[in-house]
Each structure stands twice: as structure tokens, then as C-alpha cells.
A and B are shown apart, each in its own frame.
Chain A
């Protein structure tokens, strides 16, 4: 039983990281109709910024968190304003290619700005090991699950009750009608990019505390993307749950079936789910009036 529980706990913890990233994917898709292939790279950049703050300014959790979140907001807004807004109205394929180009630039910037060595992000008690019965778990792993749950609740409230949240849903549903209703699509896009960078950055920080920083951290984006597809590309909340499901499935498959199966387990689940629900577990079916 301990074996199963340890696999489940570790799977949920890494799944929460995927889930946060996946929420970022969905937030951008929901408001802009775009898949941001630089999501993993944004995660990595914010984590490196957090490490820089922790090692040069202060190792205080509040200072590092505030600094990293502010940096994530600036990064998200800058990408939207400088890179994405000029692409408004251009074919989706071109815009997606721009995000791929952006990913390569951000990835390379790590060794230019920082270095190629892995680094430890030692914040608070995040790296400490908590033992519950026969289980071992790091503080950051518990914190990331709690954060995911809080953000899921926060996003649900935001979309349901806040003016901006309702406006985002309106833009996602029909941006032209939303525009006619006086909603600024550009502002909504900017908020989506900023929010996406923040949740991705939070994921990156928790991941770096648990597993260290390294220039190949961007690969988290590749792991989280299936979570978004599974949960529903247009469902921020579904993507969060999708991450947990992917992490759990991967770990259970790795623990019971072998490490080779671990890599493909999540994708097998996606294939099966998409065959039954092509729009993901929590995504909305596109209905077109003909």
C-alpha cells in the first residue's frame, strides 16, 4: 500500500506542476485562440528570475515570490505587446510559428544570461522532506498541489463573477460581438498573457525547488501540453485537472509497468479520451450554426 501511495503522492505533485502550466496554455487559448508553444520557456525564465532574486537580493520567500510574479506579469505583457499584438489578424499558423520562434529565443537566452549549470532554488522549507508514515514528500510538492487547488478555485471565481473574467469568456466565445459590446480584445489578450505567465512561473518555481533549475526545464511545456489537450484546450480548470491525471497516470505506469511505459502512458490516455471526447474531458464542443 505504501508503494502505491508513494507513487500516487509523487504523481499528483508532478501533475500539479503540469496542471499549472496547462492552465496557462488554456488561458491563452481561451482568450486568443492560440496555442503558445513558448509556455515551457516562460516557465523556465521566471524560475531563473526567481533564482536570481533569491541569490542576489534576498532569499525571503515573500520577496522572491513577489519579485518573480511581478517579473512574470512584465514578461507576459511584453510578449503580448511586442511579439503577439503585431500578429493580430494574421493567419493562425503564422502566429503559432511566432510562438515557436519565441520559444527558441527564450531557450537560448538561458545560457547567454545565466549559464548551463543546474542550480538549486532553496526557498523556505520547500526542499525539506516531510515524512508521513512511510511516505516521503518535499515541502514544495505539498505546496504546489495546494497552490493548484487555490488557483483552480480562484480562476473559477474569476471567470464566473469578475468583470474581466466574463469579458474573457465573451472574447473567447465571439471576439467580434464582444468588440461591438465595447470590450477591448487587446486588453483581454494582455491579461491572458500576463495570467498565463504568472501561473507558468509559479509552476516553474515549485518545480525548481523540488527538482532544481536547469536549461532543459523548458521541456515541462511538452509534458504539460498533453494535460491541456486532455482537460480541454479551452478549459482552464479542466487543464489543471488534466495535469493531475497525466502526472498520476505516468507515475503509476512507471511504478507498475516500467520506466519505458511511463513516457507513453499519458499519451495513451489522451488517445483514448480524445477518441471518446474529441474536445477533451472538460472542453466545450464547438457548435456551428449552418
Chain B
């Protein structure tokens, strides 16, 4: 009797003192589960599909090298169709049902902001790279990291560059009448004030507008010489084609959400020389070409067509997250992963400038590049 009691005590003591083999959700002896929610249907699928391809490249690369400390990465993602309610549903599924260890993504900027309370409550390590907007990092959340640059800063640098190149010219802007447009307008107006620019036309449009004939006619009538096309993709194409139709050729600037190669073909020859700003390497750069070569070796032909700037951004975010998990050794935890993400310093991914976070710093504030469209090669090329 005494011997069996002693055995029971020893067993209980053993169970209490030894850590379980797998301490966190999404971890098994053989794999680490990474979750994501992206728009994979509807027009925003352009960013969602591009993003998931970038993560897949990073996953394939890590798994081919043996995984993270022997564990292979498995990537699961939900489609939200760019609808915030569905983003939150998808998030619940990847956290509560799939039991992801960490998250990447998450859909558009509005969807990411809406997901913040859920992310904070869950405490799951998250690296966001699709829609970098200030509410995601101000105030900083312990477990939420953002790779990218603020919209306002991007526009500020683009407009500053164009203002220095085109002194004394008349400026015009057409942008979307939503949060994105407000961010664009904020960045624009900051430079207008600082450099005392002569703005002769400011217009806005409702998301989904396809005909810009009256808007661009007003741009022409106002005598705009430097024009900021503040749309996203098809809106910028429509604006440039209207300018062509009206026979006016202002200096044009576009912003990174629409900086994808297919817009060059859609705009046609008038796209030549259009300025853009981005923190992601252009595909025509040496780094961009190297990444594309990597992608070609991994992706099937059909998926290769979906590679765009969001692929580059997602790859960088995924590599940053995987490196942080890797530094946690054989038994990674959420706390360790968050701590290691915070310790990320000058982490090079090849698709953008090195990434750094820091104590209390959850935003990588990527270095920006000004680039120009070269219609002959259908590419964006960095300017000196």
C-alpha cells in the first residue's frame, strides 16, 4: 500500500515538473501551422492571391531546407472576399479551429484594423504586411508586428520628389473618398504645406467608379502639370487613358497599392515615365530578378502569373516570422516568438530593405524607393 502511494506521488511529481512535449497551439513534433486570412475572390484577390504566393515561396524554401529546427511549416488560409465580417470569421477559424501557431496577412488595411481586438485577445504572434496603416502600430500591440511603410509617408516622399523635380508647376490630385484616399490626401497636403505647392485641382471619387471623363476633363481645364493619380489599379489606368484621350501629358505619380506590372500594359504607351513609390523591390531590379528566379523554381506556371509586389512583401514578412520562430529553438512558444520578433534587427530578405523592430517598436518603417515605368520593358525601374 505504502509502495503504491509512493509510486503515485512520484508519478504526480513527474507530471507536474515535466513540460508537455507540445506547449503551444499549432505545434506538433513534425510541423508548425501558420494561418492567414486573405481576399482570394473578387477584385482584391489581386493582393490576396499575390500575398499567399509569397508565403508559399517562403514556406517551400524553409521546408526544402529541413523546416524550422526539424519541424515543417504548414500554411492554411481562409478567403474573406475583402469583407470585414468574413475576415473576423476566418480569423476565428484559423485561431480556434485550425489552432495556428502564428499568423501572417491579414487581408486589407481596414480588415487588419478590425481584427486587432481579436488578435490582441488571442495573443498570437502576427506579422502584417498587406495594408500597413498607422492604427496597426500606434499604439503598439504586444503581439502584432507590421512590415511596410505608412501610406502617408509614401505619398509624402513621392510628392516631395516630384516637387523638387518640377518646381513652380501646377498640381492636381484625384483620390478615393475612403480611408485610403484620406491617407493619400494627408501625405499630399503635408508636402503642399511644407513646399507651398500650387494645387489647382483636388477631386475625389467613389470606390468602384470606372468612368473618369468628367474628373479628368476638370484636371485638364485647371491646367494641371503634375498629377497624382490617387486611385488603386483600374482607377489609375482609367485616369491615364482619359488624359491620353484628352491629349494632355502631365507628369504623373502613382502609389504602391497599384504598382503592379499589368497596369503598364493596360495604360499602354502613356504609362512611360510615370513615377511610383514603393518599399518593395521592383521586379526589374537585380534583387527583384533574383526573387523571380527563386519563384520560378518553386511555383507552377499558373501561380507564377500571380506574382506581384504583394508576393514580395509577403515573402519578406514570412521569412521574418520564420526566422524569429527559428531563434526560439526546439520548443518555440508565443512569448519567445514575440520576443524574437522584437529582437529582429536588419534582417535581410532580398525583396525589400532589411527589416528591424525593437522594444516597443512594432513597425518596420521600410526604406522607400522612387521608380519609373519603362513601357518598352513593361517594368518599373528605380530612379537615381
> What are the nearest 4 A-B pairs in CB distance?
A254-B214, A10-B213, A116-B45, A255-B214
Can you list 28 residue pairs at the A/B interface with Cβ under 8 Å?
A3-B221, A6-B213, A6-B246, A7-B217, A107-B42, A115-B306, A116-B42, A116-B43, A116-B44, A116-B46, A116-B49, A117-B260, A129-B245, A136-B247, A211-B211, A211-B234, A211-B238, A211-B241, A212-B238, A216-B210, A216-B234, A253-B214, A254-B215, A258-B203, A259-B174, A259-B203, A259-B214, A263-B206
Q: How far is the CA of A207 from the CA of B40 in the complex (A)?
A: 25
Chain A residue with Cβ nearest B208:
A219
B246 contacts A136, C-beta separation under 8 Å = yes
Q: Knowing A6-B217, A112-B41, A211-B238 are in contact, say whether A259-B211 is a contact too (CB < 8 A).
A: no
Q: How many chain B residues have a CB neighbour from A under 8 Å?
A: 41
Query: Interface majority SS on A: helix, strand, loop or mixed?
Result: helix
* B244 CB within 8 Å of chain A: yes
* A182 CB within 8 Å of chain B: no
- Residues of chain A within 8 A (CB-CB) of B221 are 3
Q: Mark B242-283, 1 if CB is under 8 A from A, else 0.
A: 001111000000000000101101101000000000000000
Q: How far is the CA of A108 from the CA of B41 in the complex (A)?
A: 6
B234 contacts A212, C-beta separation under 8 Å = yes
* B305 CB within 8 Å of chain A: yes
* A137 CB within 8 Å of chain B: yes
- Residues of chain A within 8 A (CB-CB) of B137 are none
B44 contacts A255, C-beta separation under 8 Å = no
Q: Mark B195-212, 1 if CB is under 8 A from A, else 0.
A: 000000001111011110
Q: Which of A102-148 contact B (CB under 8 A)?
A: 107-108, 111-112, 115-120, 129, 131, 136-138
B262 contacts A14, C-beta separation under 8 Å = no
Partner-B contacts on A (CB < 8 A) = 3, 6-7, 10-11, 14, 107-108, 111-112, 115-120, 129, 131, 136-138, 207, 211-212, 214-217, 219-220, 250-255, 258-260, 262-263
B42 contacts A111, C-beta separation under 8 Å = yes
Q: How far is the CA of A260 from the CA of B238 in the complex (A)?
A: 18
Q: How far is the CA of A253 from the CA of B221 in the complex (A)?
A: 15
Identify which of A3, A10, A217 contacts B210 (C-beta below 8 A): A217
- Residues of chain B within 8 A (CB-CB) of A136 are 245-247
* B233 CB within 8 Å of chain A: yes
- Residues of chain A within 8 A (CB-CB) of B246 are 6, 136
Q: How far is the CA of A260 from the CA of B203 in the complex (A)?
A: 8
Chain B residue with Cβ nearest A216:
B43
A45 to chain B, nearest CB (A): 15
Q: Mark B151-163, 1 if CB is under 8 A from A, else 0.
A: 0000000000000
* B74 CB within 8 Å of chain A: no
Q: How far is the CA of A73 from the CA of B263 in the complex (A)?
A: 32
* B237 CB within 8 Å of chain A: yes
Q: How far is the CA of A220 from the CA of B40 in the complex (A)?
A: 22
B265 contacts A111, C-beta separation under 8 Å = no
Identify which of A207, A211, A220, A259 contacts B205 (C-beta below 8 A): A259
* B218 CB within 8 Å of chain A: yes
- Residues of chain A within 8 A (CB-CB) of B262 are 117-119
Q: Which of B27-77 contact A (CB under 8 A)?
A: 40-46, 49
Q: How far is the CA of A216 from the CA of B49 in the complex (A)?
A: 17
Q: Mark B217-230, 1 if CB is under 8 A from A, else 0.
A: 11001000000000
B214 contacts A214, C-beta separation under 8 Å = no
A255 contacts B217, C-beta separation under 8 Å = yes
